[in-house]
Structure 1
Amino acid sequence: MSTAPRRWGPVRSILALLPLLIGAPLLTIRLQYSLPQPLTELYDASTGEPQLSEARILSYAKHLSEDIGYRTVGTREHALGDAWIVQEAKELDEICRKAKERDPSRNLECEWWWQQGSGSHRFDMMNKRLYKTYVNLTNTVFRISNGTPASKEHAILVNAHVDSTLPSPGAADDAISVGVMLECARVLLERRDWEPTYSIVLLFNNAEESLQDGSHLFATQHPVAETVRAVINLEAAGTTGPELLFQATSEQMIEAYSHVPRPFGTIVANDIFSSGIILSDTDFRQFEQYLNVTGLDMAIVGNSYLYHMRKDLVANVEPGVAQHMAENTLALLTYLSSPLSPLPTLATGYAKPRTVFFSHLGVFFVYSYATARVLYSAVFVLSSLLVWNIKGGVRGMKEVGRGIGAVVGGAVGAVVGANVVAVVMRGTGRGMSWFGWEPACLGLYGPAALTGALVSQYLIGPISEHTVLASLLLVQSFLAMVIQLVGVGSAAMFFVTSVPLFVALVLDAIKVTRAGDGVGMWTYALGQVMPLLTGTQVVATVLDVFVPLTGRIGGDAPGENIIASIVAMTGSYTLPLVLPFIHRFGRVKARAVVLSSVATVVMMSIFAARNPFDAMHQKRVFVVHMENVTSGEQHLHVAAADGAPGFREFVHSMAGTFDVNGAAPVERSLGDWDSEWDVLYPFSAFLSPYAIEMPAEEERSASEGKYVEIGAVDDVVDGEKGTRRFRMVVKHPGVIWTAVGFDAHVVKWTLDENPPDEYARHHIKEASFYGVDEWSVDLVVKHDASSPGIKVDFVGIQEQAMWPGKKGEKEAGGGAMRVFERLDAWIERATAGTVDAMLVGCVGGVVVV
């Protein structure tokens, strides 16, 4: 007489699955972060053909970020960067000329322009209404065509920005992208057999970091802009890993991306970015808004701890990063300039993509929403029939209902458990303890999520593992179908995990993957492998973006809870078979809950002792040396943009050293009427600022002519209409990034055609070319005869008072730079290099016009 094989216990079962649980994530991480071998030579040694050279790209990036340096719009370094890219355009033109000389029959023509212009545009951000104005900003534009009007009629635009932002030399952001464009152009021009059917326009724009002024200038004023049918925008928010496709706005461009050799993109990233959850933006916005074109937005995102930081240097760029971006960009340009290109079809516009796309283990999948709806609905129907059959029809549906409750309850319990720990960590002043390493938050919140999921099962009571497994299939296939039916392509996540689970349950039902009673271990292996592979990719990418992001979303933002929820939700997706596995052994064992609870407490204790920051994962601190030219007062305004503990103590220690009276710093609460941080408006809403009183130095005499002056000219009051018409003129010699704020009911102005029809607060920010010291705006406002005028708050950055960007000529920066030299050394000592400080000297005040 035979007996059924004895079921393995939990330890033996886990050990059996351990190779899968370890091997699948490791394989995924290896494939996801694999980069091409960086090439150094400009030509292939065996064929003599031109090839993309990462060494050449990095040499461009190094020259821009280190030889020229901090290229903040309006500085001398910014002008040097502009002059350099003009010289590179001339060299590309020479390469083109020589290519034509070698083969006169080749249909190839190159043209380039140095564009300079002024303009203004509305730039709403973070639910704030903001206006930008600029004077004499520049772009360098290079077009490659076959010389015919037909070729020039349809163009693919590829864009990168030459400038960098205030506290950063910008090697990755965005000098690498500039180098990629130059190198791709060289390779195309030197390929003997390449001729473009449609033109390529390379835009080296000089003002992205000042809120996309350069791309606005091109889109609204350059003569070739009207020929652009699609855009490829190259960006960076990090220094490691493959470049991520995070925006794709048409089916044609998604199909074009399928031709790249190293795809790394997913509709999940597209959906997250387009939702507005990530408060960031790129030049892509200007091309969409003013040219109404489709395109691809791609960026380096790994290790974004260095994003907009001093250490955004070539030395910190991972080998292979530039090669990866260049190979994909070259493939796109080759395809989009070829006879197969969809560019002519985009001349009449484009439609929002109804296409699912994702890269999975290096393979790029693309299919339509219509196909997705059929596939996902079919899987749900088949899953329902399978469950109906194996659970015995109507009689088993009540049990399945409880199983669905167990699955949903487990996911909710995981989120609740993780967030309870998040509240405790933040409440005890130990928030962001996981910041220094993206996967670290899995260690803190993973056990808490598991505990919450386990505890939730007590509400369900005893239930068979098979029922929970079948219910999991129904939930996942139902979510895939419903989410896709409402038009969200990220439903693919649930589709790719429900299909192998369906197969596993079919094989289990016919006893291919099990022997005797219960669910076989092979069923678990088959059902869990795809969630592990897919989930690991999702977890890695999401944490790459969101963990460093918590260092710049504001101290009042629920960053701890955001990360805890991400861990819980992605963990539930990646390890869905944990719940049926727990029910495999009868009631939810108290021992499992105790073990996970102990692990949670242990991890909380370990993380409570961790410092969130280190030398390569620094805290961002913002310091403004403000000279109020109206009151004569000077202050250090100090702020942070994260909720990590210790900032209050840091500022108090700073005040003890630098405050003129040794007094405690004054904590501030910023609103739209607090102007001292307006050079960073509206990002300033994220900041938690303090003010430290500084000794008033006689800067006026030493800096004659370096202060903002605001006045009104052509001033006419119309008493009958109750309006006042005037031109507000802002003169700012030696001062850049001027910003003004004022209250008025504007009837008409030259910024746009739709000022708010009410008395309101208005913010105007300026960014102009080096040496430009005046801008103006014409206004018609409602006027009260009893009013003395309009009160204008103003602030601007002293061009020579930015540390460390102007460190080499610190004497010209006056008192602010003397303070910064001492302060920077003090911060380095006091924090052991764990703080990166933006140090800018500003002047501000109030006038009535």
Structure 2
Amino acid sequence: MSLLSPRWGLRRSLLAIGPVLLIAPLLALKQHYSLPEPEISLFDARTGLPQISEARILGYAKYLSEDIGYRTVGTYEHALADDWMVEQAEAAKRHCESVVKASGRRLECEVWRQQGSGTHRFDMMSKRLYKSYQNLTNIIVRLSDGTPEGKAHALLLNSHLDSTLPSPGAADDAISVGIMLDCIRVLVDTPGWSPAHAVVFLFNHAEESLQDGSHLFSTQHPIAHTVRAVINLEAAGTTGRELLFQATSEEMVEAYSHVPRPFGTIFANDVFNSGVLLSDTDFRQFEEYLDVPGLDIAIVGNSYLYHMRKDLVENIEAGVAQNMGENTLALIRHLTAAGSALPTLKAGFAHKRMHMVYFGLMGRFFIYRFSTAKVLYGALFAGALALARGHAVGAGVRAVGTGILGSMLVPNLVALVMQRGLGKGMSWFAGGHFAAIGLYAPATLLGAMVSQLLVPATDEKAVFAAIVLLQAAAAFGIQLLNIGSAAAFFISGLPLFASLLLNNVALTTRRGEVSLWAYTLGQFLPLLTGTLIMVPTVEVFVPLTGRLGDVPADNIVASLIAFLGAQALPLAVPFAHRFGRQTLRRMVLVLAALTLANMALYARRDVFDAMHQKRLFVLHLENVTTHEHHLHIASADGAPGFHELVHDIMTEFAGLQTAIEPVVMDDYNSDWDSLYPFSAFLSPYKIELPKDASYASPWIAEGTGFSLEAVDDVTDLVAGTRSLTVKINHPGLIWTVIAFDAHVLQWNLDKNPPAEFARHHVKEASFYKADAWTLELVVRLPASGERGIGFNFIGLQEKAMWPAKRAVKEQGGPAMVLFERLDAWLDEKTGGTVDALLMGCVAGTAVV
């Protein structure tokens, strides 16, 4: 009989193993939230060598995000950021040249300001979408040894200068701009440093407008063909270690293993590549047009502030910039050194599937190939089969299978009751990711326990052996499909196998007995790794799921926590069979009481607060065709209270008391084409606004108005086609969009338009004061012979975006007058729990 034997009761057993198991999540959380001390000085006081300085990086980020401000593509502020970046690049070049002159080092610094126009296809959310851009810019700095050989193979570092519509973009992506500038300083100031292979720093100026800047560089810059690999720096949050969430070659993963504090897993890579996140970065353009491998790295903690007004330097956690900067610098040094794999990374790598497993664990970074994984996982599966012999594994598998179903079903029932029964959906949102875990983790454990009352009493060891067998089978079977995330089951299954084997050999003397040491040893690593996987996953998914529109957010979050929780606590089910049915019933009653108490507590919580805000999308739209003004309001979450808020806004600002219903959101709702195709997530309302009789629209005056016209218009009745160039004039407007229905045979967008009559959306984003663009078309005439093509068009007023244009609000017309009042009213009405995107739009229709 073992020291910690089955004769011990539930309470004594939990007291014995609880403290040991508590260490596992605490260790995981300590590792996850560990950040370096921020450095203020530019040089290390001990060595005299240059070092990454968080203070300097945040200084750059603050200047971009607060002194310049909202850098939306096409705005005056966007142009100011362009001028500033050119100054920084030229200053870095002058400093480099002075260092070279003084030291004689083999180092050359070159600067380009690229400006160009182009088009590209950008499919998103299963929608075919096209982009057109005019006169956009990039600023490029190249460091090399000055020789043709040293410039032949280059590493590309990328960040973007622009910010998105409602955000000043301190983290997204000004912090990355600052990191790249500081890396240039450190490299240039490091005595004797000379790269064997060039490093190209691309400060691209149009990511948020659907990756136009990276497309411009990849397709038009004269040194783009020298790029062999890319490192893309991004942010979707403001706290924690940056996450390697996408890697596309084994050589680049191996390079990443050399950074001081690696944080990346094959699990994140598989999740991102699955398309579940509905997110994208400039990395996509480099893959598609340069065909090179690379690493996509982003700050992801506290993504509640992603694309929000509070993406400010004051909300960036201390140590974030230091961590990302030091890791980035290490990657540059490794990949540009003599003997690196960079020259071997020829074109074509980007579209090859990577066959490597990688993950970080307690400061160590593990890498092994899929072939090795299949051998390891296969051996574990064979061992699990051997270990299961002589046990009633069939009964154990039934118990485990029932436990899995129960652990998924009960939290989903809780989610349904919270959302549909109590009308308290998303009650976890304001509390952060730990609040979501707090609500659904007890329900998950309740489901696992109550399900065991539905199966016959089963031998505890048989259930334990079944867990080992199922984990090993999952690892081996999933890896045979070349899915690297199978490692999660291997990491869990291996200690379970080892603990059961040790139990049989050394920990017990009676057949069928399971020592508490087996539970302690077997559960420790799954709980550690499960916590390391769950916390960052929930950090990303909880804020994201709360902004996916009218979806069952509670059920999505409940399912995610249930699945990850069951994987983190695989021995909960055999433990349920350890003490007999009576004790199991008591466990169920305690967990049921805890779950019900949880539901009552969460039902009293507010969904949003000042740091976990509701996103509200508001358009003031002037239709130049009908001369009507409307207020369009939409939400991207299913939280309760939105309909009532819209009604209050309608009453306060339109003076209406009638009932209001949401309008249909589809491809033909062109009022929201500025946000297409993300607009599919929105639940919109439309409110007619009273119009000032003295208002004279500046958007209909000849020569200065918003207009579409056809030029070079030729109809071929014999061929049944019409060739034309549509010219879109939009002085004072940015981010224009046209939508039309036609059977397009040819156009200047790509070589394969849909081979049928279809709806088309073309979006534009251009540099400040670039006020016209064209679309060349050859269309098939319809059977009716009608030549005219109906266009919906819309654009954003460059001076009517609140609060970005607060300083020039007098120039924003009726939209800014309304937005100033509405923003103050919302802040008071909701207690600061709403972050509203307020945009003045001009739209209309035309037949050309």
TM-score (norm 2): 0.97
Give 2:174's aligned residue. 175
Distance 1:4 1:468, change over 3 A: closer
Secondary structure (helix, strand or coil) at the match of 1:37 reads coil
CA-to-aligned-CA distance 1:511-549 (integer Å, 9 cap, x gap): 336789731111110011001100001110110100000
Contact kept, 8 Å, 2:291 with 2:347, in 1: the verdict is no
- 1:112-127 equivalences in 2 (<5 Å): 112-127=111-126
For the residues of structure 2 that align with 1:98 and 1:679, how far apart are their CA atoms? 47
- Is 1:417 matched up with 2:415? no
Secondary structure (helix, strand or coil) at the match of 2:297 reads strand
- 1:220-235 equivalences in 2 (<5 Å): 220-235=219-234
| Structure 1 residue 475: Cα displacement | 0.7
Q: Identify which of 636, 647, 651 aligns with 2:646.
A: 651
Counterpart residue type for residue 65 of structure 1 = S
Give 1:536's aligned residue. 531
- Is 1:750 matched up with 2:748? yes
Q: Identify which of 737, 740, 743 aligns with 2:738.
A: 740
CA-to-aligned-CA distance 1:345-397 (integer Å, 9 cap, x gap): 11253232111000012211001111111111111111221222xx3xxxx3x
Q: Identify which of 431, 438, 442 aligns with 2:437.
A: 442
CA-to-aligned-CA distance 1:122-141 (integer Å, 9 cap, x gap): 10000111100000000001
For the residues of structure 2 that align with 1:727 and 1:89, how far apart are their CA atoms? 39
Contact kept, 8 Å, 1:461 with 1:587, in 2: the verdict is no
Contact kept, 8 Å, 2:6 with 2:578, in 1: the verdict is no
For the residues of structure 2 that align with 1:439 and 1:139, how far apart are their CA atoms? 40
Q: Which runs of 5+ in 1 are unaligned?
A: none
Secondary structure (helix, strand or coil) at the match of 1:847 reads strand
| Structure 1 residue 502: Cα displacement | 1.4
Secondary structure (helix, strand or coil) at the match of 1:507 reads helix
| Structure 1 residue 494: Cα displacement | 1.1
For the residues of structure 1 that align with 2:2 and 2:393, how far apart are their CA atoms? 32
For the residues of structure 2 that align with 1:616 and 1:4, how far apart are their CA atoms? 47
Give 2:346's aligned residue. 347
Give 1:95's aligned residue. 95
CA-to-aligned-CA distance 1:240-292 (integer Å, 9 cap, x gap): 00000000001111111111110000000000000001100000000001111
Counterpart residue type for residue 384 of structure 1 = L
Q: Identify which of 602, 623, 633 aligns with 2:618.
A: 623
- Is 1:269 matched up with 2:263? no
- 1:166-315 equivalences in 2 (<5 Å): 166-315=165-314
Contact kept, 8 Å, 1:5 with 1:515, in 2: the verdict is no
Contact kept, 8 Å, 1:32 with 1:362, in 2: the verdict is no
Contact kept, 8 Å, 1:247 with 1:298, in 2: the verdict is yes
For the residues of structure 2 that align with 1:707 and 1:70, how far apart are their CA atoms? 25
Contact kept, 8 Å, 1:508 with 1:514, in 2: the verdict is no
Secondary structure (helix, strand or coil) at the match of 2:437 reads helix
Q: Which runs of 5+ in 2 are unaligned?
A: none
Counterpart residue type for residue 560 of structure 1 = D
Distance 1:706 1:217, change over 3 A: same
Counterpart residue type for residue 114 of structure 2 = Q
Counterpart residue type for residue 373 of structure 2 = A
Distance 1:103 1:2, change over 3 A: closer
Q: Identify which of 701, 704, 710 aligns with 1:712.
A: 710
For the residues of structure 1 that align with 2:133 and 2:517, how far apart are their CA atoms? 65
Contact kept, 8 Å, 1:803 with 1:820, in 2: the verdict is yes
Give 1:789's aligned residue. 788
Counterpart residue type for residue 729 of structure 1 = K
Distance 1:3 1:427, change over 3 A: closer
Contact kept, 8 Å, 1:200 with 1:333, in 2: the verdict is yes
For the residues of structure 2 that align with 1:840 and 1:553, how far apart are their CA atoms? 21
Counterpart residue type for residue 284 of structure 2 = R
Counterpart residue type for residue 719 of structure 1 = L
| Structure 1 residue 21: Cα displacement | 3.1
- Is 1:20 matched up with 2:20? yes
Contact kept, 8 Å, 2:792 with 2:843, in 1: the verdict is yes
- Is 1:847 matched up with 2:846? yes
Distance 1:322 1:794, change over 3 A: same
| Structure 1 residue 465: Cα displacement | 1.1
Secondary structure (helix, strand or coil) at the match of 1:202 reads strand
Contact kept, 8 Å, 1:410 with 1:456, in 2: the verdict is yes
Contact kept, 8 Å, 1:513 with 1:523, in 2: the verdict is no
| Structure 1 residue 788: Cα displacement | 5.1
| Structure 1 residue 579: Cα displacement | 0.8
CA-to-aligned-CA distance 1:432-479 (integer Å, 9 cap, x gap): 000121111122112222222222223321111111111111111111
- 1:754-833 equivalences in 2 (<5 Å): 754-784=752-782, 786-787=785-786, 789-833=788-832
| Structure 1 residue 587: Cα displacement | 2.8
- Size of the alignment, in residue pairs? 839
Secondary structure (helix, strand or coil) at the match of 2:113 reads strand
Secondary structure (helix, strand or coil) at the match of 1:24 reads helix
| Structure 1 residue 24: Cα displacement | 1.4
- Is 1:585 matched up with 2:584? no
Distance 1:269 1:371, change over 3 A: same
- Is 1:563 matched up with 2:561? no
Secondary structure (helix, strand or coil) at the match of 1:366 reads strand
For the residues of structure 1 that align with 2:337 and 2:640, how far apart are their CA atoms? 55
RMSD of the TM alignment (CA)? 1.6
For the residues of structure 1 that align with 2:734 and 2:191, how far apart are their CA atoms? 47
Give 2:394's aligned residue. 401
Contact kept, 8 Å, 2:461 with 2:512, in 1: the verdict is no
For the residues of structure 2 that align with 1:814 and 1:573, how far apart are their CA atoms? 56
- Is 1:479 matched up with 2:474? yes
Secondary structure (helix, strand or coil) at the match of 1:347 reads coil
Secondary structure (helix, strand or coil) at the match of 1:472 reads helix
Counterpart residue type for residue 644 of structure 1 = A
Counterpart residue type for residue 168 of structure 2 = P
Counterpart residue type for residue 369 of structure 1 = F
CA-to-aligned-CA distance 1:801-843 (integer Å, 9 cap, x gap): 0000000110010110000000000000000000000000000
For the residues of structure 1 that align with 2:799 and 2:509, how far apart are their CA atoms? 74
Contact kept, 8 Å, 2:21 with 2:520, in 1: the verdict is no
Counterpart residue type for residue 375 of structure 1 = L
Give 1:691's aligned residue. 686
For the residues of structure 2 that align with 1:134 and 1:400, how far apart are their CA atoms? 63
Q: Identify which of 668, 673, 694 aligns with 1:678.
A: 673
Counterpart residue type for residue 373 of structure 1 = K
Contact kept, 8 Å, 1:5 with 1:516, in 2: the verdict is no
Secondary structure (helix, strand or coil) at the match of 1:510 reads helix
When structure 1 is superposed on structure 2, of 790-799 and 597-606 the one drifting more is: 597-606
Contact kept, 8 Å, 2:71 with 2:77, in 1: the verdict is yes
For the residues of structure 2 that align with 1:649 and 1:514, how far apart are their CA atoms? 67
- 1:364-379 equivalences in 2 (<5 Å): 364-379=365-380
Contact kept, 8 Å, 1:513 with 1:522, in 2: the verdict is no
CA-to-aligned-CA distance 1:188-238 (integer Å, 9 cap, x gap): 111112110000000000000000000000000001111111100000000
CA-to-aligned-CA distance 1:34-61 (integer Å, 9 cap, x gap): 0011000001112221110000000000
Secondary structure (helix, strand or coil) at the match of 1:726 reads strand
| Structure 1 residue 180: Cα displacement | 0.4
Contact kept, 8 Å, 1:119 with 1:133, in 2: the verdict is yes
Contact kept, 8 Å, 2:2 with 2:515, in 1: the verdict is no
For the residues of structure 1 that align with 2:157 and 2:729, how far apart are their CA atoms? 36
| Structure 1 residue 496: Cα displacement | 1.2
Counterpart residue type for residue 382 of structure 1 = G
Secondary structure (helix, strand or coil) at the match of 2:799 reads strand
- Is 1:155 matched up with 2:154? yes
For the residues of structure 2 that align with 1:404 and 1:657, how far apart are their CA atoms? 61
- Is 1:381 matched up with 2:382? yes
CA-to-aligned-CA distance 1:157-186 (integer Å, 9 cap, x gap): 000000000000000000000000000111
Secondary structure (helix, strand or coil) at the match of 1:157 reads strand
Contact kept, 8 Å, 1:386 with 1:506, in 2: the verdict is yes
Give 1:548's aligned residue. 543
Distance 1:514 1:658, change over 3 A: farther
Q: Identify which of 617, 628, 632 aligns with 2:627.
A: 632
